[in-house]
Amino acid sequence: MRAASAIRATDHTAEPVDDGSASHGRYRTDLSRRDIRLNDADTTYWFLHRALGWDVVLQLVWVMNGPIAPDTLALLNRQLAAGRLHRRLIVPRMPGARPVWTNAYQAPALVVDHAEIDEAEADDWAAEEMATVRLDAEAGRCWRLRAIRCASGATVISLCALHLVADGRTLVTAAAAAMAATDRGAPAPAPPAGAAERRWSRFAHSLVSDARDAAAQVHAAAGGLARVAGSTLRGGAGVVEPVAANRAPIIERSPQARWARATASVPTSEWDRVAANAGGTANSLFIATVTGLLRSSGYAPVGDPIKVGIPVDRRDGEDDPRTNATAGVSIVLTDEPVPGGTLHTIRRACKQAFVALAAGQRPAIAHLQSMVWLIPPAWLVGMVTAGDGMPDAMVSNLGAVPAAAGQLDGATACRFVFRGMAQGVDPDLPYRFGDGVQSWLTRTDDRVTFAVFGCDEEYFDSDEHLRTLLDDELTAWGLVHEVW
């Protein structure tokens, strides 16, 4: 396997590696059933891209406790190219029709850095990759795999993907499947005969299909407006979106549109023990820990309401072809959380929100998502950004990570973390991707790990400050932990 050319030792960038795609021809992923249009859960990321120029990027980071052979990384890249992350988005010509996912061909190039870093620099290296990687769904570049060696002998691996092509669970399971196939030595599937010459876009460019979909969106939008109007006439039946405390505009609290970051790991047995002793669950302890940062930082003194956004997985089994399959619920906390206290209040509030979601009770805005496909994005900016805006805390629990996601080429992940951010946020505009804190949790047999991003520069003014707050919060809960 031909390695990338050498680079300056002070420069962590690298040239793409020849991973064998030339010998394989072009890749074509099988979407299993048919080409798939964007769905309601995708609207947020499509809207942010079209209206504000943002790309929401998700990232998985591994610190493997040994070297990973170049051939192994190249095979892993080919396995990812054969999986569900590798798609291309086609924008229909018919106004009102939703964009279509179809098959992508050329695999994104594997990138390997040849300037070693200290293992302590792994998080900075990965964060820079997440902030600067250039992905493009319409060009079929929805993801990128990158790796670098550490002086200690460890290997750091980053897998970035557009949120438009995958939610958190999809990204984790796609990575686990590719790593398992790589460790088995399974050859990446070859493209079907003649795939490079086939008209992969025939469905996307079907005016009949586009016209039908546009009509369906008009019908859905009309139905959504009718539901909202009916709810109003009945006196607001359904879910009323919780109202957060009045705060200064986020552009004043975060003038540079900059995030502070921290990551924590806790032994899984410790996490479960503390949660159970507090009368809660692993998820309610997660919410308590993250929202506790808003109390201890001064962002939300005790008594101020904290609005918490919680993504909920709505995927219908492993074969669900949707790229995003989550719905959000919100809860409001007032005197909670108290480190070492009860988790009953959080647990009860979450249960009520989950039951309401299962019963189809949604805030009014959820019934109007089809409007995104019918109205120019610029016209919707004011409507979408009005009102209470982002939650004070967004907490996303991805749950258990498949064991295969922690093993590669005889090495084991000594660190594994999931996180996300929005690229392209303009500090001169009043919009920000987040308000207080955002956090993402994964769980293995050994560790519970969660990344935290502080969005409010007034209260989270540096990585070091956020790490100190997180360390203090976990200590107050009596949790054995590591923060980096």
Pick the more confident residue, 388 or 421.
421
Pick the more confident residue, 313 or 201.
313
- Residue 27's pLDDT is 42
Nearest alpha-carbon partner for 131 in 467, 413, 419, 392: 419
331 contacts 308 by C-beta, under 8 angstroms: yes
Indicate the fold that domain 16-188 takes in CATH: Chloramphenicol Acetyltransferase (3.30.559)
Burial bucket for residue 341 (CB in 10 Å: 0-12, 13-18, 19+): middle
What are the tens digits of pLDDT across the range 262-283?
A: 999 999 999 999 999 999 999 9
292 contacts 270 by C-beta, under 8 angstroms: no
Alpha-carbon distance of 226 to 249, in angstroms, equals 33
What are the tens digits of pLDDT across the range 397-439?
A: 999 999 999 999 999 999 999 999 999 999 999 999 999 999 9
Which tokens in the block code for residue 123? Answer: 């998080």
Confidence of residue 372 (pLDDT cuts 50, 70, 90): confident
Q: Check pLDDT > 80 for residue 155.
A: yes
The CATH homologous superfamily for domain 241-366+376-400+427-483 is Nonribosomal peptide synthetase, condensation domain (3.30.559.30)
The residue extents of the domains of the chain are 16-188, 241-366+376-400+427-483
What are the tens digits of pLDDT across the range 203-252?
A: 445 788 888 888 988 888 888 777 767 665 655 545 545 555 778 999 99
Confidence of residue 82 (pLDDT cuts 50, 70, 90): very high
Pick the more confident residue, 414 or 31.
414
- Residue 189's pLDDT is 73
Backbone angles phi, psi at 388, to 5 degrees: -85, -15
Average pLDDT of the residues of the chain: 85
pTM, rounded to two decimals: 0.89
What are the tens digits of pLDDT across the range 323-349?
A: 888 888 999 998 767 888 899 999 999
What are the tens digits of pLDDT across the range 108-131?
A: 999 999 899 999 999 999 999 999
**Strand duo 306-313 + 393-400: pairing:** parallel
- Residue 246's pLDDT is 78
Alpha-carbon distance of 113 to 5, in angstroms, equals 10
Does the fold of domain 241-366+376-400+427-483 match that of domain 16-188?
yes
**Strand duo 411-423 + 437-443: pairing:** unpaired
